[in-house]
Structure 1
Amino acid sequence: MIKVDENDPVGEVQLSFPYRDVQIKRGLDPKEEYDLQEELGRGKFGIVYRCTEKTSNLCLAAKYITCPKKEDRRNVEREVDIMRSLQHPRLIQLYDAFENGKVMCVILELIEGGELFERVIDDDFILTEKSCTIFMRQICEGVDFIHKQRILHLDMKPENILCLTKTGNRIKIIDFGLARRFDPDKKLQVLFGTPEFVAPEVVNYDAIGYGTDMWSVGVICYVLLSGLSPFMGATDPQTMANVTIAKYDFDDEAFNEISDTAKDFIRKLLLKDMTTRMTAQQALHHPWLSDVVVPEMELDRTNLKKYVIRRRWRKAINTIIALKRMGAEIDTNLI
């Protein structure tokens, strides 16, 4: 059995590399400096490969993004600019960046522990409410740092929380492709995100803020503890309609063994009014994450396993759609 280390992480693991003031290298092929290896994953925004820097033999991840339009290139440039400001142990680190014609490549820290939710549903893994607090505290630490840099992540979801290793208890927040710099004195509106985790103000195209990310943190916590999605509908429009109403409950038996303190933590995040939600700093001082002894009994992960399988299928379908848009030939009989 793999039982997560329920002691608070002491100290920080040594960084894979020191801070680098990355500037985009234009007109250069990253293969001149890096050896590409196996594919690690792909999605609607690009393909990620394992790679090794030729001069140092450092193992990294290379994310290739096709940029047929100037807007696509500007989006990657914004992501690189934002990541240069985010040097923190809870956040994936930027190593290098290239522009070569209509293809851009971002070289990132290699994180090999896999998605958090994928790991905790493993048959050999024991998940407890205590271990959930360890993960959620680190998520809030990462979000707190992001917000202190006046940046919004805007795509907080389980797929974007990775385990640093396959056995340790440290996590990393990844994917700043939708992140935006934020000036609280200026109105910012967006109309993107994952329906299941997006906040009411996004669906309604109202002004967003730091609380927008904290809503998503609340949804992640709800799902991690119960395996249930508080606002999931049969379709994306139904899900977004449920989000705008902002009504949910803890009536399912999955919450019978969950502490009242944990439920209070979620309640203080899933508030319709963005300004009333806990900030990341306040979340870190909430009793559930700071000083309350929480249950250490094993949680029933039946719902969580079903949830992860459902998201795997959705992710696969989205990948197929993205590949078709890029002109790939897909044999649907193999799916």
Structure 2
Amino acid sequence: MAGRAGEGNHAFLRVKFLKNNGEINNYYRCLDVLGEGAYGKTHEVEHVSNGRRYAMKVQRFERVAPGAVVTPWNDPYGDVKRIYKEMVILNVILPRHRNIIELKDLLMSVDTVYIVLELCASKCLSHFYPIAQNRSGRRIFKQIVEATHFIHQHGVLHMDLHSENILFADDTMTESKIIDFGLAVYKPALAVKVHANFKHREWFNIDDLSCLHEDLSVPQEDIRALGHILHCILAGTDVYPGEFEQPGAIGEAEGEGVTPDYMPRMHIFDRKAKDLLELIGPEYFRRGALPTIDKVLTHPWLA
């Protein structure tokens, strides 16, 4: 990995290095546990000096015993590279966007990284699906598509868009926030915009940008995920592909054979919404190959 001080039209965050994990209490006071994932816990915290509240992801590095075999599951350097890439994406590659989670602070000890983010409501897309109407569904989905288009313009693929990775700014559920760029990929060849004169060779080694996972990552994966989210919005519930009968070739575009609870609520949504589902939705609705993100963004339902 490479790295250097930031430049451009806003000051990039500088890492605060802690002598020990107890020093985190000099900066932030833990109030509650918001969630727990594969890489650690997320806490609601309060800044010791100004009292502002944030979300703080706490991720510990695996420590390998002397002589032990290093695997992808216990490689501490792999954890460091993943966190480094996520921080560079959020703090350097991408400009601020109101529908993308904002990085606020970054602290690190010898075995733990503390990632401080803006605090969102506890509600995710799953809470929105049952109450989504044509107008509100269009507004939220357009926000998500615009944010995805935005990161793609800067060469970033999220690669993990799903209900739990899209939160809301507050309990009104009117402004969405894409979170968790832990699996995100940066592909300089895809970038059509560059923020603050970003030069990827000054931040990444070539090996960081050419691993097998990244080589298999394409924009269509995010678009496919958007299609699944749209299906959930129209159905009014989280849809789990393995839990319903797949339709046959006859009537496939209309979703014939799909469990009724997972069918689009056409008494709520207009025909343009269904047309977009047939453009980017799961294969049992979709007609033809996935379009580009630009075509999705200019679809009549989102116009």
TM-score by length of 2: 0.71
The answer as to 2:227 corresponding to 1:223 is no
> Taking every aligned residue pair, what percent have the same amino acid on both sides?
24
Q: Does 1:171 align with 2:165?
A: no
Which of 60, 79, 87 is 1:66 aligned to? 60
1:135-174 superposed matches below 5 A: 135-174=140-179
Q: Report what 1:277 is aligned to.
A: 290
Structure 2, unaligned runs of 5 or more? 1-8, 63-75, 191-208
Say whether residues 1:190 and 2:177 are aligned partners. no
Identify the residue that residue 132 of structure 2 maps to in structure 1: 127
Residues 1:32 and 2:37 aligned together: no
Question: Which one has a bigger Cα radius of gyration?
Answer: 2
Residue 260 of structure 1 is aligned with which of 271, 276, 281? 271
Q: Give 1:96 shift.
A: 1.0
1:267-307 per-position Cα deviation (integer Å, ceiling 9, x unaligned): 2224889x9533333222100111xxxxxxxxxxxxxxxxx
SS of 1:57's equivalent in the other structure is: coil
After superposition, what is the alpha-carbon deviation per residue over 1:235-258, rounded to whole angstroms, capped at 9, x for unaligned? 9xx99xx9xxxx875235533434
**Secondary structure of the structure 1 residue equivalent to 2:228:** helix
Preserved contact between residue 98 and residue 104 of structure 1 (Cα < 8 Å): yes
Determine whether 1:44 maps to 2:38.
yes
**2: CA distance between counterparts of 1:119 and 1:227?**
8
Moved over 6 A (4+): 185-188, 228-231
Amino acid in the other structure paired with 1:259: D
CA–CA distance in structure 1, aligned partners of residues 124 and 10 of structure 2: 25
Is 1:232 aligned with 2:237? no
Distance 1:187 1:113, change over 3 A: same
Q: 1:233 to 1:249 in 2, by over 3 A?
A: farther
What's the TM-score, normalizing by structure 1? 0.65
Instruction: Specify the alignment match of 1:97 in structure 2.
Output: 106
1:230 and 1:248 in contact (8 A); partners too: no
**Residue aligned with 1:233, SS:** helix
Cα distance in structure 2, aligned partners of 1:25 and 1:248 = 54
* Corresponding letter in the other structure for 1:31: N
Distance 1:248 1:97, change over 3 A: farther
- Do the aligned partners of 1:231 and 1:248 also contact (CA within 8 Å) in 2? no
Determine the C-alpha separation between the residues in 1 that align with 2:10 and 2:79.
26
Residues 94 and 107 of structure 1 are in contact (CA less than 8 Å); yes or no, is this contact kept in structure 2? yes
Distance 1:127 1:78 in 2: 34
Question: In structure 1, what is the Cα distance between the partners aligned to 2:127 and 2:254?
Answer: 25
Deviations 1:49-83 (A, max 9, x none): 11122222221111101111121122111111111
TM-superposed CA distance for 1:45, in Å, is: 1.3
Q: CA separation of 1:223/1:77 partners in 2, compared to 1, >3 Å: closer, same or farther? A: same
Q: Which moved more, 1:161-170 or 1:171-180?
A: 161-170
Alignment of 1:282-297 (within 5 A): 282-290=295-303
Tell me if structure 2 keeps the 8 A contact 1:187–1:207: no
Deviates further, 36-45 or 172-181: 36-45
Which structure 2 residues correspond to residues 67-82 of structure 1 after superposition, within 5 A? 67-68=61-62, 69-82=76-89
Q: Does 1:211 align with 2:220?
A: yes
Aligned-residue Cα RMSD (Å) equals: 3.2
Q: Deviations over 1:8-33 (max 9, x none)?
A: xxxxxxxxxx9651232233533221
Secondary structure in structure 2 of the residue aligned to 1:288? coil
The count of aligned residue pairs is 246
Supply the distance in 2 between the matched residues of 1:27 and 1:249 (Cα, whole angstroms).
57
Query: 5+ residue gaps in structure 1?
Result: 1-17, 192-205, 291-335
Within 2, Cα distance between the matches of 1:223 and 1:187?
34
Q: CA deviation at 1:188?
A: 7.0
Tell me the residue number matched to 2:73.
none
Distance 1:73 1:249, change over 3 A: farther
| 2:200 alignment counterpart | none
Shift in CA distance, 212/112, structure 1 to aligned 2, threshold 3 Å: same
Question: Which residue of structure 1 lines up, in the alignment, with residue 90 of structure 2?
Answer: 83
Q: CA deviation at 1:90?
A: 0.5
Map of 2:121 onto structure 1:
112
Residues 232 and 62 from structure 1, CA distance in 2 versus in 1: closer, same or farther, beyond 3 angstroms? same
CA shift at 1:169, angstroms?
A: 0.9
Determine if contact 2:55/2:117 at 8 Å carries over to the other structure: yes
Q: 1:51 to 1:150 in 2, by over 3 A?
A: same
Cα distance, 1:132 vs structure 2? 0.9
One-letter code of the match for 1:250?
G
